[in-house]
């Protein structure tokens, strides 16, 4: 086994970490975090510290760590057939079975699944398919995609553009010009504090209508959104938001891409976020919870009306010119089959709903009266705490104070609980595995309350 010093040195010298301050890391100013093993809701680092992972990795290890049912399926698939491609009609039992399992669970009117590797490439696929769709329908000018500020859809060129967080644009020449942003549906952060929730929803809808009018509906192809804003701060939609937004999209013949990378397969206590909010998607993006991150796999679930046009396109133009070497990778597909089966067998979607409700109510009860806690919100096993400098006037801390990061670091140091400091300043996020128990909720809430008291 390598000594810690050696690992630290190799890490600093060789490893380009994503979403990391590169210079500080290379100088050794931020610690190397080497994770060794994990079980249930706990991960263990190289020094034997057992940490309660209240963010399930990057909200992806939904079934929990160390599941033999999934690792055995991966090993069996790797031994039988580690790889074959899925081009020109090839497949494996695992990939075909998984596509059936996904559609059995998906909302009505969904037709086929295209497999990728991660959420970003799935959304890249989606935008290409939307463009293809409009070209086949003979309206090549209908190409722009609307996303929301503070939405997160990946970090590729199109998907980094769709992501409405400045950090993902800065110095990358993003967003590209085909992507337009409309306002974030965050009632707590509304500019006009006198607005009711209904008035705020109406303002979101008006902002979308104005954007469409400004650009011209005949230039707008699609709208993408997460059922609950995730990385932008875990923000459930304000009252009436989705029905009103969908009505606008329908009126202007704009396709709806529902990005369920975080919410898909149970995180909100329903199989999909679309089920919870009555969303009628043309495409649903899935990734993380599809395999509980035991292997990289994503998917685009294509709705019936798009599928018909895609078929027509290939009759007119030949095979669709889009594919990844690892589309429907057998090992990912085997992990997906075992994971979805496990989620059913252990009734984990229902657990996410009931334990999630307990997490949200306990967090509210423990923190709502704190003078620097402005908002505690969530849905299912998603929960966020937002800090404010002054509650009555709802003024925020200077982002440079990094209050969210301070609280998260304090929780880790004091109680070995991992919560995520969200990229939007002063928000702390929770998205634990679905097998979380009520006792573990109590541990998370107590650790949060203690850290908030320590820092603020
Ligand atoms: N879409 C959503 C809603 C996400 O939260 C993420 C990642 O967090 C992505 C897309 C991108 O997925 P990936 O990081 O697997 O490319």
Using the atom order of ligand 1, give the atom closest to the CA of residue 263: 3
Which single residue is written with the structure tokens 């970003």? Answer: 120
Pairing of strands 42-45, 417-418: unpaired
Residue carrying the six token digits 């059913």: 344
Q: Spell 154-175 as b/e; 16+ CB within 10 A means b.
A: bbbebbbbbbbbeebeeeeebb
Query: Can you tell me the distance from the alpha carbon of 378 to that of 366, in angstroms, rounded to the nearest whole number?
Result: 15
What is the predicted pLDDT for the residue at 425? 77
State mean pLDDT over 66-72.
98
Which ligand 1 atom minimizes the distance to the CA of 117?
15
- pLDDT for res 55: 98
Bridge partner residues of 255 (DSSP):
222
Q: How far is the CA of 455 from the centre of ligand 1 (A)?
A: 30
Mean pLDDT of all residues belonging to the chain = 97
What is the tens place of the pLDDT at every residue in 356-406?
A: 999 999 999 999 899 999 999 999 999 999 999 999 999 999 999 999 999
Is the pLDDT confidence value at 33 over 90? no
Dihedral of alpha carbons 17, 19, 21, 23, sign: positive
Is 36 in a helix, a strand, or coil?
A: strand
pTM given for the model: 0.98
How far is ligand 1, taken at its centre, from the CA of residue 343, in Å? Answer: 21
Q: 């590729």: which residue's tokens?
A: 156
State what percent of residues in the chain have pLDDT above 90.
Answer: 97
Q: Model confidence over 108-150: pLDDT tens digits? A: 999 999 999 999 999 999 999 999 999 999 999 999 999 999 9
Give the model's pLDDT for residue 444: 98
List the residue whose alpha carbon is closest to atom 1 of ligand 1: 153
Rounded Cα gap, residues 228 and 401, in angstroms = 27
pLDDT score at 423: 80
Predicted pLDDT at 31? 74
Q: 348-367 vs 330-345: helix axis angle to the nearest 10?
A: 70
Smallest Cα–Cα separation from 152: which of 123, 189, 188?
A: 123
Tell me what the mean pLDDT of segment 202-207 comes to. Answer: 98
Closest Cα to residue 128, out of 324, 330, 329?
Answer: 324
The pLDDT assigned to 32 comes to 79
**Centroid of ligand 1 to alpha carbon of 260 (angstroms):** 9
Strand blocks (E) in 366-433: 373-379, 382-387, 417-418, 420-421, 427-430
pLDDT beyond 80 at 1? no
Question: What pLDDT score does 186 carry?
Answer: 98
| Closest ligand 1 atom number to CA of residue 154 | 11
Q: Which of 152, 156, 294, 382 to mutate to test the pocket of ligand 1 (most atoms within 8 A of CB)?
A: 152
Domains of the chain with bracketed CATH = 33-63+347-455 (3.90.1150.10), 69-345 (3.40.640.10)
Residue 398's pLDDT is what? 93
Instruction: Dump pLDDT digits (tens) for 306-334.
Output: 999 999 999 999 999 999 999 999 999 99
Mean pLDDT across 54-70: 98
Terminal CA-CA length for the chain: 42
Q: Residue 214 has what pLDDT?
A: 98
What letter does residue 397 receive in the DSSP assignment? P
Q: Among 58, 119, 124, which residue has the most ligand 1 atoms within 8 Å of its CB, making it the best to mutate?
A: 119
pLDDT for residue 426: 92
Determine the atom of ligand 1 nearest the C-alpha atom of 123: 10
């Amino acid at each position: 086994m390598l000594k810690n010093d050696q690992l630290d040195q190799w890490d600093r010298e060789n490893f380009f970490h994503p979403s990391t301050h590169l210079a500080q890391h290379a100088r050794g100013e931020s610690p190397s975090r080497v994770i060794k093993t994990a079980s249930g809701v706990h991960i263990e680092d190289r020094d034997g510290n057992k940490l309660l992972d209240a963010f399930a990795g990057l909200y992806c290890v939904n079934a929990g760590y160390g599941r033999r049912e999934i690792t055995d399926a991966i090993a069996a698939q790797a031994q039988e057939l580690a790889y074959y491609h899925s081009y020109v009609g090839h497949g494996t039992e695992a990939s075909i079975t998984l596509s059936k399992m996904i559609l059995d669970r998906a909302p009505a009117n969904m037709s086929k699944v295209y497999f990728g590797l991660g959420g970003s490439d799935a959304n890249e696929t989606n935008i290409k398919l939307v463009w293809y769709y409009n070209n086949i329908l003979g309206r090549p000018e209908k190409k722009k995609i609307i996303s929301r500020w503070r939405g997160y859809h990946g970090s590729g060129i199109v998907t980094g553009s769709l992501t409405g967080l400045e950090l993902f644009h800065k110095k990358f020449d993003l967003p590209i010009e085909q992507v337009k942003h409309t306002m974030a549906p965050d009632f707590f952060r509304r500019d006009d504090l006198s607005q009711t929730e209904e008035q705020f929803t109406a303002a979101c809808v008006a902002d979308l209508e104005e954007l469409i009018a400004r650009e011209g509906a005949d230039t707008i192809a699609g709208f993408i959104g997460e059922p609950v804003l995730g990385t932008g701060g875990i923000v459930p939609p304000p009252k009436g938001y989705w029905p009103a937004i969908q009505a606008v999209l329908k009126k202007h013949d704009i396709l709806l891409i529902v990005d369920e990378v975080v919410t898909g397969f149970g995180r909100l206590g329903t199989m999909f976020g679309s089920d919870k909010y009555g969303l009628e998607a043309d495409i649903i993006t899935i990734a993380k919870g599809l395999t509980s991150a035991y292997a990289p796999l994503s998917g685009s679930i294509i709705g019936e009306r798009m599928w018909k046009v895609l078929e027509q396109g290939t009759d007119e133009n030949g095979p669709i010119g889009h594919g990844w070497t690892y589309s429907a990778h057998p090992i990912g597909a085997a992990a997906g089959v075992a994971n979805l089966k496990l989620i059913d067998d252990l009734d984990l979607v229902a657990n996410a709903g009931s334990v999630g409700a307990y997490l949200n109510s306990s967090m509210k009860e423990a923190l709502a009266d704190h003078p620097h806690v402005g908002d505690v919100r969530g849905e299912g096993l998603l929960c966020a705490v937002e800090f404010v400098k002054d509650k009555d006037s709802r003024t925020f801390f200077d982002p440079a104070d990094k209050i969210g990061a301070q609280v998260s670091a304090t929780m880790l140091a004091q109680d070995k609980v991992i919560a995520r400091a969200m990229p939007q300043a002063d928000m702390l996020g929770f998205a634990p595995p679905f097998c979380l128990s009520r006792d573990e909720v109590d541990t998370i809430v107590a650790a949060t309350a203690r850290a908030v008291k320590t820092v603020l």
